[in-house]
């Protein structure tokens, strides 16, 4: 395990935004994750754990403490279940399931990020959320150690798990699938891939920036508010999809947060709806 000092974070995120972490480590095995957590605990140092960096915004000031990038890539098909370590990219899990003729994860074809990020945030697309396919996950809980938690322990809701508020590091997960028909699995995956190409605007983003409010779509409200194409600094509301906030090149975290605030205020003023961020903003000092 090599801990690096004063290490810039931008390159590890789809947004390409983020200043230096005081300390940074890429943990390539579960043992290294636990070692890194112990290293920080011994020094009473704040820790931030992330995976693919496809749903977060690091601050330009970086992070005061240790940032752990989850890179453990273990993956095994076990009967009709798939076990994967948290740093495994979701795409690899989807591919392994399809190759083993297991159905259930086709909708995740093209979902960026890692298993840990998907388990933490109850990622979902085309009708399948983590809560629909997760059997259990092994988690490091500060003060308690490593525990395997069942689906019911995650308190899942729309883009939500209890670990969005409580400390816990996802180490691995087991997805429960069923035997499927290979041609049907391949067709569904192709259909999803086509749909993503059509719907997803190009450019550097974190996918949907705001959660959809109950019974509506954040994108529809932002577009109706006349905000498509609006810019703050180098951050811009995608002219193609109003819930995608793009880094047009060299945007700062302040640009993105400023644009997000402008959107929230304008949508609230016009429609009385307060949009909530889906994207996780990482403050330099943990609160
Ligand atoms: C083009 C694009 C399209 C997208 N489309 C979708 C979509 O259709 N549906 C959807 O739900 N999301 C979508 N996203 C958002 C993102 O891909 C998902 O939220 C994904 O699950 C995040 O995984 P990640 O590994 O990148 O998480 P990160 O961005 O690395 O982290 C996100 C959060 O999870 C936490 N975290 C990550 N790993 C761990 C771990 N092992 N233990 C504890 N906490 C952890 C981080 O601390 C952070 O709070 C899209 C993003 C992009 C860029």
Express each pLDDT in 155-186 by its tens digit.
Answer: 999 999 999 999 999 999 999 999 999 999 99
Does 129 participate in catalysis according to the annotation? Answer: no
pLDDT in tens, 203-232: 999 999 999 999 999 999 999 999 999 999
Most distant CA pair in the chain: distance in Å?
53
pLDDT of residue 194: 96
pLDDT in tens, 7-60: 999 999 999 999 999 999 999 999 999 999 999 999 999 999 999 999 999 999
Of all residues in the chain, what percent are helix, strand and coil, respectively (each to 5)?
30, 30, 40
Domains of the chain (ranges; CATH) run 4-70 (3.30.43.10), 75-199 (3.30.465.10), 218-282 (3.90.78.10)
Does 144 participate in catalysis according to the annotation? Answer: no
Mean confidence (pLDDT) of the chain: 97
Residue to mutate (ligand 1; options 21, 92, 116, 142; most atoms within 8 A of CB): 116
- Alpha carbon distance 228, 245 (integer Å): 10
Query: Is the pLDDT assigned to residue 287 strictly greater than 80?
Result: no
Does 208 participate in catalysis according to the annotation? Answer: yes
- Alpha carbon distance 257, 252 (integer Å): 9
- Percent with pLDDT over 90 in the chain: 98
Mean pLDDT of 119-145: 97
* 41, 70, 57, 96 alpha-carbon torsion, rounded to 10°: -150
Query: Does the Cβ of 172 fall within 6 Å of ligand 1?
Result: no
pLDDT in tens, 65-98: 999 999 999 999 999 999 999 999 999 999 999 9
Distances (CA, A) of 1 to 53, 71, 79, 154, 156: 20, 12, 33, 30, 33
Query: Does the Cβ of 91 fall within 6 Å of ligand 1?
Result: no
For residue 270, the CA-to-ligand 1 centroid distance in Å is 30
Query: Does the Cβ of 121 fall within 6 Å of ligand 1?
Result: yes
Query: Does the Cβ of 110 fall within 6 Å of ligand 1?
Result: no
How many C-beta atoms surround the C-beta of residue 31 within 10 A? Answer: 11
Query: Does the Cβ of 122 fall within 6 Å of ligand 1?
Result: no
Query: Is the pLDDT assigned to residue 286 strictly greater than 90?
Result: no
DSSP secondary structure string, 19-43? -EEEEEEEE-SHHHHHHHHHHHHHT
For residue 239, the CA-to-ligand 1 centroid distance in Å is 23
């Amino acid at each position: 395990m090599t801990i690096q000092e004063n290490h810039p974070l931008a390159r590890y995120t789809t947004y390409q935004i983020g200043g230096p972490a005081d300390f940074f480590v890429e943990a390539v095995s579960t043992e290294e994750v636990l070692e890194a957590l112990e290293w920080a605990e011994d020094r009473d140092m704040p820790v931030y754990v992330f995976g693919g960096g496809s749903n977060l915004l690091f601050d330009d000031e970086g992070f005061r403490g240790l940032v752990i990038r989850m890179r453990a890539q273990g993956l095994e098909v076990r009967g009709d279940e798939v076990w994967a370590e948290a740093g495994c990219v979701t795409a690899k899990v989807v591919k392994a399931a399809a190759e083993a003729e297991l159905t259930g994860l086709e909708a995740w074809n093209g979902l960026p990020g890692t298993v840990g990020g998907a388990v933490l945030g109850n990622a979902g697309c085309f009708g399948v959320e983590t809560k629909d396919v997760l059997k259990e996950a092994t988690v490091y809980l500060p003060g308690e150690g490593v525990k395997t938690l069942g689906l019911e322990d995650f308190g899942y809701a729309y883009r939500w798990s209890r670990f969005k508020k409580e400390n816990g590091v996802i180490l691995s997960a087991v997805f429960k699938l069923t035997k499927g028909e290979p041609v049907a699995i391949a067709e569904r995956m192709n259909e999803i891939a086509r749909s993503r190409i059509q719907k997803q605007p190009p450019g550097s983003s974190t996918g949907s920036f705001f959660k959809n409010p109950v019974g509506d779509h954040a994108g529809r409200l932002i577009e109706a508010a006349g905000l498509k194409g609006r810019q703050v600094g180098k951050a811009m509301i995608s002219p193609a999809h109003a819930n995608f906030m793009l880094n047009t090149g060299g945007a700062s975290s302040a640009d993105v947060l400023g644009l997000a605030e402008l959107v929230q205020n304008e949508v609230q003023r016009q429609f009385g709806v307060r949009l909530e961020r889906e994207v996780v903003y990482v403050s330099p000092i943990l609160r």
